[in-house]
């Protein structure tokens, strides 16, 4: 757990309204299995080499994420990436309900400040600063801070194509 995640847990009472806006449910298990659950697959899906290449790529990508919860748009965690970045320097990633990864902020407080919508950023930022967090001064700065990070979708896509090749399919 990072200091920011611990502070967020410790500040839930004071930040309840903001956390509720995100519909954020915190999970205390970085290796949380739910984001990688494949129980929805049927026998036909499991026999499809393309689907299984994607399942394997997502499972490998998920292993590089330290999950900390779920919000209104999907699962959220810290993207360590193939370089195994220290958790304190790992950006926040979301795995949405369509199976797509998105880097959403470089830090947990920036993720909470951004919320689901940009509306209310200043209010959320002020509450986070009051709770002792360091938060970027604007949504644009939060977005710009993501530029140096490798993207989890690119990593998943690379693994997916490697899996397709191993299963006798052409890369896409």
Mean pLDDT in the chain? Answer: 95
Q: What is the DSSP letter of 40?
A: T
Span 55-87, pLDDT tens digits? 999 999 999 999 999 999 999 999 999 999 999
pLDDT band at 119 (very low <50, low <70, confident <90, very high): confident
Sequence-distant (6+) residues with CB within 8 A of 27 are 67, 68, 69, 70
Q: CB–CB of 149/91 below 8 Å? A: yes
pLDDT band at 116 (very low <50, low <70, confident <90, very high): confident
The stretch 32-36 carries a mean pLDDT of 96
Q: Residue 14's pLDDT is what?
A: 94
- The number of residues in the chain equals 172
**78 vs 117, residue with greater confidence:** 78
Q: CB–CB of 79/103 below 8 Å? A: yes
Q: Residue 118's pLDDT is what?
A: 73
Q: Residue 127's pLDDT is what?
A: 96
**Tokens encoding 88:** 């304190």
Q: CB–CB of 22/72 below 8 Å? A: yes
Q: Residue 45's pLDDT is what?
A: 97
**Tokens encoding 142:** 């939060």
**Tokens encoding 73:** 């748009």
Span 128-149, pLDDT tens digits? 999 999 999 999 999 999 999 9
- Percent of the chain at pLDDT exceeding 70: 100
Instruction: Report whether pLDDT(95) > 90.
Output: yes
Q: Where are the domains of the chain?
A: 3-166
Instruction: Report whether pLDDT(113) > 80.
Output: yes
Q: Residue 1's pLDDT is what?
A: 77
Threshold 0.85, pTM exceeds: yes
């Amino acid at each position: 757990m990072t200091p920011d995640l611990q502070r967020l847990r410790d500040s839930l009472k004071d930040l309840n309204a903001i956390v509720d806006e995100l519909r954020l449910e915190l999970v205390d298990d970085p290796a949380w299995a739910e984001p990688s659950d494949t129980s929805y697959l049927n026998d036909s899906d499991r026999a499809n080499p393309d689907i299984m290449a994607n399942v394997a790529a997502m499972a490998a990508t998920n292993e590089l994420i330290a999950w900390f919860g779920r919000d209104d748009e999907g699962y959220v965690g810290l993207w360590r990436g193939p370089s195994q970045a220290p958790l304190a320097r790992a950006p926040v990633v979301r795995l949405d309900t369509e199976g797509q990864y998105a880097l959403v902020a470089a830090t947990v407080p920036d993720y909470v400040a951004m919320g689901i919508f940009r509306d209310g950023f200043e209010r959320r930022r002020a509450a986070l600063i009051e709770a002792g967090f360091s938060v970027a001064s604007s949504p644009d700065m939060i977005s710009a801070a993501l530029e140096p990070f490798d993207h989890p979708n690119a990593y998943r896509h690379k693994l997916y194509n490697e899996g397709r090749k191993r299963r006798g399919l052409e890369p896409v």
